[in-house]
Chains A and B, each alone.
Chain A
């Protein structure tokens, strides 16, 4: 069995082995193997290619951009997604615009351990995909399966665009698979995590699994819910989403991010403007509460969408 975390490690391992231009840079990722052990043993296996960084996200991303301009293919780690805002200027103003302004590609991968666990609090729990997706020039990946964690990391390193790679901390050790995939869908293509008929849930990352649990519960009531795993938030696979809504007529967007201007909002904007005649009911979204992520476990549980909240929201949608 291989975990989501081990799949990422395997992808990094393979990239380091195959391409001398690849190196890793981040806080505590060298001898320590990373805060979550994603880079465990890689520093030993690839001497000089897995480097510890000082406590400066600005510097980490800046170094990566500079190295990329010189022809390297760096993969940098933000220890927690939340800290990436200390390097926000480097990401959105430098990395994202470099190719547009100079014609020089910026093939960096910025890894963001995203999402919360009980007790992680407001600065160790954020989901930042919408923030980065807002900027032209960035690719934003949000793998939700062990297979995608592996193949999408390999795709991310192979792409010449800057990629924000949102790994979900909760999935690191909770998600397991038999083996790593040999093939994978193209970058930017969503996948049907579950076929259905009565409503479509569009989601990604950890929420795919909560949504699957909710769909199982609803089968008992005679409803079959279709679930679209976006896999990559930007570019967003509008065609797959519209095709699903064409089948079901009802849409619920579920994500762990905040509601304002989120991925859910973007999906709904696209479906209502491009597929208005497909909707038999108003599109709905279920996101985290519009407050900073709480520390207290009880509040944290109430803050994010859960399988039962998703099931309730879906029921409300089905009854409209």
Chain B
């Protein structure tokens, strides 16, 4: 006849063991399901331990005034055939290394070592959607061989456990795409793809602020002999704002914030099939007027893809002027090594309420965006930074 173990139950969230206060039955007694067999005391309360089923208490290991850990076998209840069937006791289960019930006479001692249960057995793919991202060693080897990343395979509907992509799924997918027209991606394209993929592994967010451009545009007309691009104004404003408070441009690595060494700001330039980002070093320390020539030269070199290595990389934030494409709002993705990306939308003449004159008047305004790594800063800090940039931009003579 089957035997059901009587276990010390989990009595509360932080309870690891309990002391037997009273044993209500003795070996040989008939037991009714859901009735109390013992009373136990934890550091919180006295409570009853009920029988998991009906039957005969064929073995009792526990003693009054002794402590037993949660999960300890306190005894055994012998059950009838139909009760065993009702409980779904499985005859077919593999032989376990449990001590035979008859020999187990000594009760578990206080503080007996707990069984360590592995959390993962077999394939670490749980039977729900989270399995979809599991990549087997073979998948990884094949992907390395072909230069693929998980992002390349996002289009595969996996047929494996939990929806994971199996090696067969991958090979079928690769076969299938051969039927499309295929053109080689330029090295610029592959480089940008890699940067964007790495960047997007972070939680990114964007805030938007309308910024008045009239003062900046007026100042720009007075620039001679060469005009400064609007992006240079914003770059200077951003540089000064960050020199006042550099924390938003920090990077989060583990539980540490890595602060910038110097205020080097980059600006995006469209080059063939991609984007290059020349950098103005120590942009907080050089007035705008002295930056104009350098800026224009860098833009030229970038467009020709002849940017010197020393003028690329190492910037702590980037400015991008997508407004030149007529775009009013965008959510660009910051460079993978940076936390901040300031975006400038296309300027538009819009009606603005003048509270003093109590009338609408035209102003030139653009939506500025700040896209940021949300692990480093939140919307408030982002908003404050954009507002400061806006303030500085509206005082262009000081830039």
What residues of chain A have their CB less than 8 Å away from a CB belonging to chain B? 249, 276-282, 289-291, 302, 319-320
Q: Is the CB of B138 within 8 A of A280?
A: yes
| Contact among B95, B97, B122, B136 with A280 in the assembled complex (CB-CB below 8 Å) | B136
- Segment from B59-67, B160-168, B254-262 that makes contact with A: B160-168
0/1 per residue, B139-172, Cβ < 8 Å to A? Answer: 1110000000000000000001100001110000
Q: Is the CB of B166 within 8 A of A280?
A: yes
Q: With both chains docked as a complex, state the minimum distance between the C-beta of B139 and any C-beta of chain A, in angstroms.
A: 7
Q: Is the CB of B166 within 8 A of A291?
A: no
User: Is B137's CB within 8 Å of the partner chain A?
Assistant: yes
List residues of B (63-94) whose CB comes within 8 Å of A's CBs: 92, 94
18 A-B pairs within 8 Å (CB atoms) are namely: A249-B136, A249-B138, A249-B168, A276-B141, A277-B137, A277-B140, A277-B141, A279-B136, A279-B138, A280-B139, A281-B136, A281-B160, A289-B94, A290-B95, A291-B95, A319-B160, A319-B161, A320-B122
Q: Is the CB of B122 within 8 A of A282?
A: yes
**Interfacial chain A residues near B125, Cβ < 8 Å:** 320
Report Cα–Cα, A206/B160, bound state, in Å: 32
Report Cα–Cα, A282/B124, bound state, in Å: 9
**Interfacial chain B residues near A282, Cβ < 8 Å:** 122-123
Minimal Cβ-Cβ distance residue in A for B162: A320
Q: With both chains docked as a complex, state the minimum distance between the C-beta of A314 and any C-beta of chain B, in angstroms.
A: 14
**Interfacial chain A residues near B95, Cβ < 8 Å:** 289-291
Report Cα–Cα, A247/B379, bound state, in Å: 52
- Across chains A and B, the number of contacting residue pairs, with CB separation under 8 Å, is 42
8 further contact pairs, Cβ within 8 A, besides A249-B138, A280-B166: A276-B141, A277-B138, A279-B137, A280-B137, A280-B139, A281-B123, A289-B95, A320-B125
Report Cα–Cα, A291/B123, bound state, in Å: 26
Report Cα–Cα, A289/B125, bound state, in Å: 26
**Interfacial chain B residues near A278, Cβ < 8 Å:** 137-138, 141
**Interfacial chain B residues near A291, Cβ < 8 Å:** 95
Q: With both chains docked as a complex, state the minimum distance between the C-beta of B162 and any C-beta of chain A, in angstroms.
A: 10
Q: Is the CB of B141 within 8 A of A320?
A: no
Q: With both chains docked as a complex, state the minimum distance between the C-beta of A298 and any C-beta of chain B, in angstroms.
A: 11
Report Cα–Cα, A291/B97, bound state, in Å: 10
**Interfacial chain A residues near B94, Cβ < 8 Å:** 289
**Range for the number of chain B residues in contact with chain A:** 10 to 19
Report Cα–Cα, A9/B110, bound state, in Å: 64
Q: With both chains docked as a complex, state the minimum distance between the C-beta of B23 and any C-beta of chain A, in angstroms.
A: 35
Q: Is the CB of A320 within 8 A of B161?
A: yes
**Interfacial chain B residues near A277, Cβ < 8 Å:** 137-138, 140-141
List residues of B (299-323) whose CB comes within 8 Å of A's CBs: none
Complex A-B, nearest 3 residue pairs according to Cβ-Cβ distance, in ascending order: A277-B141, A280-B138, A280-B167
Report Cα–Cα, A276/B167, bound state, in Å: 14
Report Cα–Cα, A280/B136, bound state, in Å: 5
Report Cα–Cα, A311/B234, bound state, in Å: 69
Report Cα–Cα, A320/B158, bound state, in Å: 11
Q: With both chains docked as a complex, state the minimum distance between the C-beta of A247 and any C-beta of chain B, in angstroms.
A: 11
Minimal Cβ-Cβ distance residue in B for A319: B161
0/1 per residue, B3-39, Cβ < 8 Å to A? Answer: 0000000000000000000000000000000000000
Minimal Cβ-Cβ distance residue in A for B161: A320
Minimal Cβ-Cβ distance residue in B for A291: B95
Report Cα–Cα, A282/B120, bound state, in Å: 12
**Interfacial chain A residues near B122, Cβ < 8 Å:** 282, 320
Q: Which of B136, B139, B140 has the most CB of A within 10 A?
A: B136
Q: With both chains docked as a complex, state the minimum distance between the C-beta of B153 and any C-beta of chain A, in angstroms.
A: 14
Q: Which of A276, A281, A282, A289 has the most CB of B within 10 A?
A: A281
Q: Is the CB of A320 within 8 A of B137?
A: no
**Interfacial chain B residues near A276, Cβ < 8 Å:** 137, 141
Q: With both chains docked as a complex, state the minimum distance between the C-beta of A14 and any C-beta of chain B, in angstroms.
A: 44
Minimal Cβ-Cβ distance residue in B for A303: B95
Report Cα–Cα, A159/B122, bound state, in Å: 41
Q: With both chains docked as a complex, state the minimum distance between the C-beta of A256 and any C-beta of chain B, in angstroms.
A: 16
Q: With both chains docked as a complex, state the minimum distance between the C-beta of A278 and any C-beta of chain B, in angstroms.
A: 6
Given contacts A249-B167, A280-B166, contact A320 B138 (CB under 8 A): no
Minimal Cβ-Cβ distance residue in B for A302: B92
Q: Is the CB of B140 within 8 A of A320?
A: no
Minimal Cβ-Cβ distance residue in B for A320: B123
**Interfacial chain A residues near B139, Cβ < 8 Å:** 280
Minimal Cβ-Cβ distance residue in A for B123: A320
Q: With both chains docked as a complex, state the minimum distance between the C-beta of B381 and any C-beta of chain A, in angstroms.
A: 45
**Interfacial chain A residues near B160, Cβ < 8 Å:** 281, 319-320
Report Cα–Cα, A249/B160, bound state, in Å: 13
Report Cα–Cα, A289/B96, bound state, in Å: 10
Report Cα–Cα, A249/B166, bound state, in Å: 10
Q: With both chains docked as a complex, state the minimum distance between the C-beta of A226 and any C-beta of chain B, in angstroms.
A: 15
Report Cα–Cα, A106/B137, bound state, in Å: 44
Minimal Cβ-Cβ distance residue in A for B167: A280
Q: With both chains docked as a complex, state the minimum distance between the C-beta of A289 and any C-beta of chain B, in angstroms.
A: 5
**Interfacial chain B residues near A280, Cβ < 8 Å:** 136-139, 166-168
Report Cα–Cα, A319/B131, bound state, in Å: 13
Q: Which of B94, B123, B161 has the most CB of A within 10 A?
A: B123
0/1 per residue, B153-195, Cβ < 8 Å to A? Answer: 0000000110000111000000000000000000000000000
List residues of B (328-377) whose CB comes within 8 Å of A's CBs: none
Report Cα–Cα, A108/B30, bound state, in Å: 65
Q: With both chains docked as a complex, state the minimum distance between the C-beta of A203 and any C-beta of chain B, in angstroms.
A: 20
Report Cα–Cα, A281/B122, bound state, in Å: 9
Q: With both chains docked as a complex, state the minimum distance between the C-beta of B166 and any C-beta of chain A, in angstroms.
A: 6
**Interfacial chain A residues near B138, Cβ < 8 Å:** 249, 277-280
Report Cα–Cα, A276/B144, bound state, in Å: 14
Report Cα–Cα, A320/B161, bound state, in Å: 5
Report Cα–Cα, A4/B139, bound state, in Å: 43
